[in-house]
């Protein structure tokens, strides 16, 4: 569970740093995917 949450956090961090490239749609999708990873860890 902890590893899954960490993976989701790392994905969000990585794509937050990519957001400066202007690809907002992809960044938002990966941000939501990271949240889903974290949420799934608690199911």
User: What digits encode the pLDDT tens for the residues 1-43?
Assistant: 555 666 777 766 666 655 555 555 556 666 677 777 666 665 5
State the pLDDT at residue 33: 72
State the pLDDT at residue 10: 72
Instruction: Please identify which residue in the block is written with the tokens 């790392």.
Output: 10
How far is Cα 23 from Cα 43, in angstroms, rounded to an integer?
31
CA 12 → CA 40, 43, distances in Å? 15, 20
State the pLDDT at residue 26: 57
How far is Cα 18 from Cα 38, in angstroms, rounded to an integer?
20
How far is Cα 35 from Cα 32, in angstroms, rounded to an integer?
5
């Amino acid at each position: 569970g902890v590893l899954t949450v960490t993976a989701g956090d790392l994905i969000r961090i990585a794509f937050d740093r990519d957001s400066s490239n202007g690809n907002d749609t992809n960044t938002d999708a990966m941000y939501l995917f990271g949240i889903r990873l974290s949420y799934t860890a608690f199911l």
